[in-house]
Amino acid sequence: MNYHSHSFINKNIDLLHDFLNINRCFIALPDRNKNLIIRYASTQTLQQELCLNPCYLSAESHSPDCHIIASYYRENVTESANFLTADFVTLEIPLHYQNRDLGILVLQDCDRQSPWSQQEIKIAETIAENCALALYQEQIEVELQQQKEIARELVQKNQQKNENFSMMSHDLRSPLTGIVGLSQMLVDCIYGDLNPKQMEYIRAIASSSKHLLNLINDLLDLAKIEANREELYLETLSIEEVCLASISMIKQLANARGLELKLEIAPDISTCMADQHRLKRILVNLLSNAIKFTESGSILLKVDRTRDRGESLLLKFSVIDTGIGIAAADIEKLFQPFTQIQNRLQRRQKGTGLGLALSKKLAQLHGGDLSVTSELEKGSCFTLYLPLGE
């Protein structure tokens, strides 16, 4: 209960009680079952030890002095000679604000010989408006606090989930790393030659385990970023060395598809400040995707400078392909985790839809971003932007 609104309402009904010189003045509010319960009463009303017929006592009241006085709402100002007892003439005024039914203001007088005057009703309605506003503000404050609590609980649960997932991913990655290493040793025939069938099987094991390890690494990094636990190790890097290293990692895949790999770096660009491992990972993800969805032609990695709308200098890595392109309606889905766009090449490719989502988050972690422009059957251009000091 907000102390200020509680005090304000009590002062208003005390003022109304004294000004009209009546026996009882109180406000009844609905409970969860929409039964009206006395929540506020004037000082003199309390001194009279207001007590209703025992059959109206609420078993679910929040405090002993809260009693159900009615189980229905009255839409308009209502006069009654038989509301609580036949001895009182009652005036009830509904409390409304912003399309909310908040309760009723009840005035009772046992000595009244004539109906309530228009002046008395007007005064009571003015007090009712003041009280309705205070009650509405109190409800809004309670609702906002509840929403904050819900949001805080969701954040805590999400962080706990990501932390648990990170621990689980570590436990999965360790044995998989061993499987990848041992299977590769068998493929390389370090412990002796294998027959064709054995080689076929062990290559399948090596390929599947590498794919699963890459998936777990992506999931682990995503979980770390979501849990605010991913740390960057920024250092001055040679842009040419990073680009050449990234291209070398996917060169075999490009050669197998007959694609030409090209690199263009602006002559005035030599170094950048970034996390070497994460930058390579972003570029390899972009280059791998370009190869997957390009049937013929070339893949170009182009590096130059640009400026954002605020005129800050940015380093721009563009991966430009001559592939099948992306429909405008599908571009918004690209950077969503576990989302893959359906096209004629999709079923041939392995993937979970994590690569681009992770790349965008890693770019944002650097203070940059990742964007795409594309046209169906003409190719795509994925662009990584990183801050570049003057």
- Pick from 127, 149, 171: which residue ends a domain? 149
Considering the domain architecture, whether residues 133 and 222 belong to the same structural domain is answered as no
d(CA 198, CA 191): 13
Considering the domain architecture, whether residues 209 and 285 belong to the same structural domain is answered as no
Question: CATH code at 94?
Answer: 3.30.450.40
At 74 the pLDDT is 36
- Pick from 163, 196, 226: which residue ends a domain? 226
**pLDDT-above-90 percentage for the chain:** 31
DSSP letter for each residue of 255-319: HHTTPEEEEEE-TT--EEEEEHHHHHHHHHHHHHHHHHT-SSSEEEEEEEEEE-TT--EEEEEEE
Q: What value does the mean pLDDT take over residues 334-363?
A: 73
The position carrying tokens 């250092």 is: 235
Contact (CB, 8 A) for 342 and 324:
no
Q: What value does the mean pLDDT take over residues 181-192?
A: 87
Burial of 166 (0-12, 13-18, 19+ CB in 10 A): buried
Considering the domain architecture, whether residues 238 and 380 belong to the same structural domain is answered as yes
Give the pLDDT band (50/70/90) at residue 264. very high
Considering the domain architecture, whether residues 268 and 315 belong to the same structural domain is answered as yes
Q: At what angle do helices 276-292 and 355-365 cross, to 10 degrees?
A: 150
Q: Quick one: which of 270, 347, 336 has its CA closest to 304?
A: 270
At 83 the pLDDT is 39
User: Which of 81-85, 162-166, 182-186 holds the top average pLDDT?
Assistant: 182-186
Neighbouring C-beta atoms of residue 57, cutoff 10 Å: 13
Of residues 54 and 345, more confidently modeled: 345
Contact (CB, 8 A) for 119 and 133:
no
Of residues 110 and 284, more confidently modeled: 284
Considering the domain architecture, whether residues 173 and 299 belong to the same structural domain is answered as no
At 286 the pLDDT is 94
Considering the domain architecture, whether residues 197 and 251 belong to the same structural domain is answered as no
Domain encompassing residue 380: 234-387
Considering the domain architecture, whether residues 273 and 352 belong to the same structural domain is answered as yes
pLDDT in tens, 334-345: 888 767 766 655
Considering the domain architecture, whether residues 186 and 59 belong to the same structural domain is answered as no
At 348 the pLDDT is 53
Q: Quick one: which of 340, 358, 357 has its CA closest to 349?
A: 340
At 235 the pLDDT is 93
Contact (CB, 8 A) for 291 and 258:
no
Q: Quick one: which of 202, 166, 204, 210 has its CA closest to 186?
A: 202
Q: Which of 10-19, 108-117, 191-200, 202-211 has the lowest mean pLDDT?
A: 108-117
pLDDT in tens, 98-136: 888 888 898 888 777 778 888 989 999 999 999 999 999
Question: CATH code at 249?
Answer: 3.30.565.10
Considering the domain architecture, whether residues 185 and 102 belong to the same structural domain is answered as no
Phi-psi region of 301 (alpha: psi -120 to 50; beta: other; left: phi over 0): beta
Please say if the pLDDT value at position 69 is more than 80. no
Average pLDDT, the chain: 80
Please say if the pLDDT value at position 273 is more than 70. yes
Domain count, the chain: 3
Which residues pair with residue 78 across a beta bridge? 92
d(CA 104, CA 69): 11
At 247 the pLDDT is 94
d(CA 84, CA 57): 13
pLDDT in tens, 220-229: 788 778 767 7
Considering the domain architecture, whether residues 319 and 373 belong to the same structural domain is answered as yes
Burial of 187 (0-12, 13-18, 19+ CB in 10 A): middle
Considering the domain architecture, whether residues 214 and 312 belong to the same structural domain is answered as no
- Pick from 196, 226, 256: which residue ends a domain? 226
Considering the domain architecture, whether residues 245 and 119 belong to the same structural domain is answered as no
